[in-house]
């Protein structure tokens, strides 16, 4: 299904203060793939994600969602199709109650009330937070906030799910539950993180980002076995692959 | 730290109350908002020396607080928080205005009367507003304001302000704790440090606002916060609104304490 393609073609981006954030990043992600984007702090992960839904536009190069380039006039359509889950759920949950927040996207899409209601209920059920619907977001725990943020994006039925550090701030149980939840989403997933174990659990493919460009792109296990590559990108083998105390 | 943490708890208490389910809570929020506005208008409409005619109006906040299960102690503490500002507003009245005003058989300096009147109006209107939030919920009040024709951007601002006040307070709380852990013997407490503290908080707030805006745009925000509440202005709401407004009119037009006084005087041997 070509309309679910996500393509980055030689992206260059420099922040207004002159800091170069992307220096020619390119990749192509097909429908249904689950891809981890890993890299040290400042490698350009978050900047890259913000290019995928038009929050930032590249200085040169282009992003293509489907076959066509992401141009300013396509941004509303792309934002409906590419669901973005931010690093800090507090940034994402701005409505008075969880239910209002989950309904925010569908209402903006102009769906009829019955459809909005159905989508909200389905998203709350899928993320297992039906009983939190009437609660204000500031009264939720970290794990609950994360689920609510995911529900708010799932309610828009995106073709592509983009997550920025989804496991940050979660306890082991919350993290495990999150992995289970994300596994059920069968469309394209793009996960930026430095939780390499999460990538190992969730993504068959990994893209290593280093100083704004793609250093490696391939099978997760192969990339994580390449210690010199990881070290040169200021990363380490995931704990579970470090043999002496891990699973493998 | 404790003060900021206390403020969060303090602030959240009204929210917690608004989640309970008395019949008053279930009433259409528009009825409560309109009635409270009418109440404030009635209280504000009296002359500057009015004290006794204002007293019957206390019935409204007291009745609502009792029906809605709002503890009076909680209201009192919040009133005390705002009291210094009001005292400051009226503090000079007794000094500047020495014209005698008759109070029954006595004559009192006009300044004292107007000062008392300001205090009384403050207590009445602010407690009514607090009770309104406690028996309605802040976002329901906002929804009602939106439906009553208050401009959308204003309603959006109120809602987002309420939502992020908690986040801001938590952020300030964490920063204050980090500072106090590295403050020794009064050093690091003075004005320069406080300036840097507030500056950092402002920058963080700025960054946060930007990220929130991004996340709103990512879900198709186009300037209008769509915020639907199934509201039904039923018979109970009509009765509530018209009943109270009729009573306010009566209190405004008839000087109840004087009437009561003359009744008592007539009954006395």
Q: Which domains does chain A have, with CATH numbers?
A: 2-241 (3.40.50.300)
Paired sense of beta strands A160-164 and A82-85, if any: parallel
Confidence (pLDDT) at A244: 59
Confidence (pLDDT) at B81: 82
CA angle centred on B157, ends A162 and A154, rounded to 5°? 25
Contact B220 A79 (CB under 8 A): yes
- Judged by a CB distance cut-off of 8 A, whether residue B222 touches chain A is yes
In this prediction, residue B6 has a pLDDT band, given cuts at 50, 70 and 90, of low
d(CA B117, CA B46): 9
- Report chain A's mean pLDDT, rounded to a whole number: 90
- Report chain B's mean pLDDT, rounded to a whole number: 85
Percentage of residues in chain B having pLDDT higher than 70:
92
Q: Which chain A residue's Cα is nearest to B138? A: A96
Can you name the residues that pair with B85 across neighbouring β-strands? none
Confidence (pLDDT) at B147: 87
Which of A55, A113, A139 is the closest to B217 by Cβ? Answer: A55
8 A C-beta contact, residue A108 and residue B221:
yes
Which of A50, A80, A138 is the closest to B167 by Cβ? Answer: A138
Q: Phi and psi dihedrals of A162, rounded to 5?
A: -115, 125
- Judged by a CB distance cut-off of 8 A, whether residue A30 touches chain B is no
Which of A90, A100, A108 is the closest to B221 by Cβ? Answer: A108
Mean of pLDDT values over A98-126: 92
What is the three-class DSSP state of B100? strand
Rounded to the nearest angstrom, the gap between the alpha carbon of residue B268 and the centroid of all alpha carbons in its chain is: 41
- Structure-derived torsion over alpha carbons of residues B155, B161, B164, B169, reported in degrees to the nearest 10: -160
Contact A96 B160 (CB under 8 A): no
Beta sheet of A205-210, edge-to-edge order: A82-85, A160-164, A188-193, A34-38, A205-210, A213-219
Confidence (pLDDT) at B208: 86
In this prediction, residue B8 has a pLDDT band, given cuts at 50, 70 and 90, of low
Q: Which of B:65-124 have CB within 8 Å of A?
A: none
Confidence (pLDDT) at A202: 93
On chain A, the residues whose CB falls within 8 A of the CB of B215 are: 84, 86, 91-92, 94
Check pLDDT > 70 for residue B179.
Answer: yes
Check pLDDT > 50 for residue A246.
Answer: no
In this prediction, residue A241 has a pLDDT band, given cuts at 50, 70 and 90, of confident
Nearest Cα of chain A lies from the Cα of B121 at a distance, in angstroms, of 31
- Give me B37's structure tokens: 């506005």
In this prediction, residue B227 has a pLDDT band, given cuts at 50, 70 and 90, of low
On chain A, the residues whose CB falls within 8 A of the CB of B212 are: 91-92, 94
- Judged by a CB distance cut-off of 8 A, whether residue A152 touches chain B is yes
Can you name the residues that pair with B100 across neighbouring β-strands? B109
Confidence (pLDDT) at A219: 96
What pLDDT, in 10s, does the model give residues A40-60?
988 999 999 999 999 899 999
Paired sense of beta strands A205-210 and A68-69, if any: unpaired
Q: What's the farthest any 2 CA atoms get from each other in chain B? A: 79
On chain B, the residues whose CB falls within 8 A of the CB of A104 are: 216, 219, 221, 226
d(CA B226, CA B176): 36
Angle formed by the axes of helices A142-154 and A172-183, nearest 10°:
10
Paired sense of beta strands A205-210 and A213-219, if any: antiparallel
d(CA B120, CA B97): 18
- Judged by a CB distance cut-off of 8 A, whether residue B204 touches chain A is no
Confidence (pLDDT) at B3: 64
- Judged by a CB distance cut-off of 8 A, whether residue B227 touches chain A is yes
Confidence (pLDDT) at B1: 42
Confidence (pLDDT) at A164: 93
B84 vs A2, higher pLDDT: B84
Check pLDDT > 90 for residue A212.
Answer: yes
Paired sense of beta strands A188-193 and A34-38, if any: parallel
Mean of pLDDT values over B21-33: 90
Contact A107 B228 (CB under 8 A): yes
If one counts every other C-beta atom within 10 angstroms of the C-beta of residue A224, the result is 24
On chain B, the residues whose CB falls within 8 A of the CB of A90 are: 167, 208
The three-state DSSP-derived secondary structure of A19-69 is: CEEEEEEEEEECCCCEEEEECCCCCCHHHHHHHHCCCCCCCEEEEEECCEE
A15 vs B177, higher pLDDT: A15
Confidence (pLDDT) at A248: 45
Contact A136 B15 (CB under 8 A): yes
If one counts every other C-beta atom within 10 angstroms of the C-beta of residue A186, the result is 9
Check pLDDT > 70 for residue B5.
Answer: no
What is the three-class DSSP state of B203? helix
What pLDDT, in 10s, does the model give residues B190-224?
777 788 888 888 888 888 888 888 888 888 888 77
Mean of pLDDT values over A76-94: 89
Can you name the residues that pair with A163 across neighbouring β-strands? A85, A191
Mean of pLDDT values over B71-91: 86
Which of B12, B167, B217 is the closest to A90 by Cβ? Answer: B167
d(CA A113, CA A117): 6
**pLDDT-wise least confident of A29-38, A77-86, B160-169:** B160-169
Confidence (pLDDT) at B256: 81
- Give me B196's structure tokens: 């840097």
């Amino acid at each position: 299904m070509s309309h679910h393609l996500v393509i980055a073609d030689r992206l260059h981006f420099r922040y207004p203060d002159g800091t170069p954030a992307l220096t020619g990043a390119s990749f192509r992600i097909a429908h249904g793939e689950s891809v981890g984007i890993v890299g040290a702090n400042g490698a350009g992960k978050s900047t890259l994600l913000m290019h995928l839904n038009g929050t930032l536009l590249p200085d040169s190069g282009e992003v293509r969602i489907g076959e066509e380039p992401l141009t300013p006039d396509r941004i509303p359509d792309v934002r409906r199709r590419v669901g973005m889950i931010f690093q800090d759920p507090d940034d994402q949950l701005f409505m008075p109650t969880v239910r209002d927040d989950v309904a925010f996207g569908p209402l903006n899409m102009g769906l009829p009330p019955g459809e909005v209601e159905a989508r909200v209920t389905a998203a709350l059920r899928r993320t297992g937070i039906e009983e939190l619907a009437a609660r204000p977001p500031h009264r939720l725990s970290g794990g609950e906030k994360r689920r609510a943020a995911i529900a708010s994006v799932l309610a828009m039925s995106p073709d592509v799910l983009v997550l920025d550090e989804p496991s940050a701030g979660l306890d082991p149980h919350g993290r495990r539950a999150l992995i289970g939840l994300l596994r059920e989403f069968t469309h394209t997933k793009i996960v930026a993180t430095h939780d390499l174990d999460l990538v190992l659990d969730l993504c068959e493919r990994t893209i290593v980002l280093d100083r704004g460009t793609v250093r490696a792109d391939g099978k997760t296990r192969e990339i994580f076995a390449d210690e010199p590559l990881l070290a040169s990108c200021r990363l380490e083998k995931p704990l579970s692959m470090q043999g002496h105390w891990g699973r493998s | 730290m404790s003060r900021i943490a206390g403020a969060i708890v303090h602030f959240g208490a009204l929210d917690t109350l608004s989640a309970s389910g008395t019949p008053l809570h279930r009433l259409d929020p528009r009825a409560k908002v309109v009635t409270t506005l009418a109440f404030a208008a009635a209280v504000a409409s009296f002359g500057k020396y009015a004290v006794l005619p204002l007293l019957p109006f206390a019935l409204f906040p007291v009745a609502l607080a009792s029906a809605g299960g709002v503890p009076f102690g909680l209201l009192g503490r919040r009133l005390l928080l705002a009291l210094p500002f009001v005292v400051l507003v009226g503090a000079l009245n007794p000094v500047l205005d020495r014209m005698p005003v008759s109070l029954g058989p006595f004559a009192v300096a006009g300044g004292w009367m107007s000062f008392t009147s300001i205090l009384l109006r403050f207590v009445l209107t602010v407690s009514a507003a607090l009770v309104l939030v406690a028996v309605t919920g802040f976002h329901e009040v906002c929804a009602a304001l939106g439906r009553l024709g208050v401009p959308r951007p204003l309603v959006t601002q109120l809602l987002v302000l309420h939502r992020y006040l908690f986040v801001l307070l938590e952020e300030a709380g964490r920063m204050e704790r980090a500072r106090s852990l590295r403050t020794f013997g009064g050093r690091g407490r003075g004005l320069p440090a406080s300036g840097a503290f507030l500056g950092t908080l402002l920058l963080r707030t700025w960054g946060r606002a930007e990220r929130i805006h991004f996340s709103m745009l990512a879900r198709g925000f186009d300037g209008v916060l769509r915020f639907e509440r199934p509201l039904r202005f039923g018979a109970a709401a009509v009765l509530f609104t018209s009943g109270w407004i009729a009573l306010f009119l009566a209190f405004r037009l008839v000087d109840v304490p004087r009437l009561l006084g003359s009744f008592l005087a007539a009954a006395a041997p």
